[in-house]
Amino acid sequence: DGGITQSPKYLFRKEGQNVTLSCEQNLNHDAMYWYRQDPGQGLRLIYYSQIVNDFQKGDIAEGYSVSREKKESFPLTVTSAQKNPTAFYLCASRTGAEQYFGPGTRLTVT
């Protein structure tokens, strides 16, 4: 079955800790994206990668970091510098102009 997996579905962390969210795809897509979703705000782009070993900042990259060492994997680290990390995080991959989304990870930081 081809698709995008994100793990875990729910993640809880204490303030001041870094946390890494996993995103894996077996669709053979070159481009991958991370979005943050907050109630009433739609999705906002954090980082994206058009190809392995390359990535660019999106609109709200501060406090986040990514890597793209493998085509199928695009992990997102939420650092302690992110002021409001509690949110729903969505990963996507792209073929042509169409993006396909994973099921999301809900991160709660207390």
Partner 1 sequence: AQSVTQPDIHITVSEGASLELRCNYSYGATPYLFWYVQSPGQGLQLLLKYFSGDTLVQGIKGFEAEFKRSQSSFNLRKPSVHWSDAAEYFCAVGDDDYKLSFGAGTTVTVRA
From the list 58, 61, 63, 67, which residue makes contact with partner 1 (rule: CB under 8 A)?
A: 58
Count of residues near partner 1 by CB under 8 A: 24
* Minimum separation from the CB atom of position 27 to partner 1 (A): 13
Distance CA 51, CA 84 (A): 29
100 binding partner 1? (CB under 8 A): yes
At 74, list the tokens: 């695009």
34 binding partner 1? (CB under 8 A): no
From the list 1, 15, 69, 98, which residue makes contact with partner 1 (rule: CB under 8 A)?
A: 98
42 binding partner 1? (CB under 8 A): yes
With beta carbons less than 8 A apart as the criterion, state whether 20 and 76 touch: yes
Phi/psi zone of residue 9: left (φ > 0), alpha (ψ -120 to 50 degrees), beta? alpha
